[in-house]
Amino acid sequence: MKWFIRKGIFYQPVSLMGWMILVFAVVGSVFMFTRIDSTSHSASDTIRNWLLSDLLIAAVYTLVGYLTSGGKESE
């Protein structure tokens, strides 16, 4: 069963597991932002550190999307 379909460079969830992974990624990103923001001394510290963690979250999401989509682009 496919969890995602590829739309251009993005992976769109098509099953319950896909949607759960997307929600987990968004909640993780918000959590990381609030955790980093609470210990940062400036806006640039917050943005720089949050972007690094968000890139990691996006890479894992993309990898899961690629592995569970069948690898072909959907039309």
Dihedral sign computed on CA atoms, order 7, 10, 12, 17: positive
The series of mean pLDDT values per 10 residues for the chain, 75 residues long, is 88 94 95 90 89 95 90 55
Cα Rg of the chain, angstroms: 15
Residues in contact with 73: Cβ distance below 8 Å, sequence separation at least 6, in sequence order? 6, 7, 8
User: Which of 58, 59, 30, 34 minimizes the C-alpha distance to 46?
Assistant: 34
Question: Looking at residue 41, what is its pLDDT?
Answer: 87
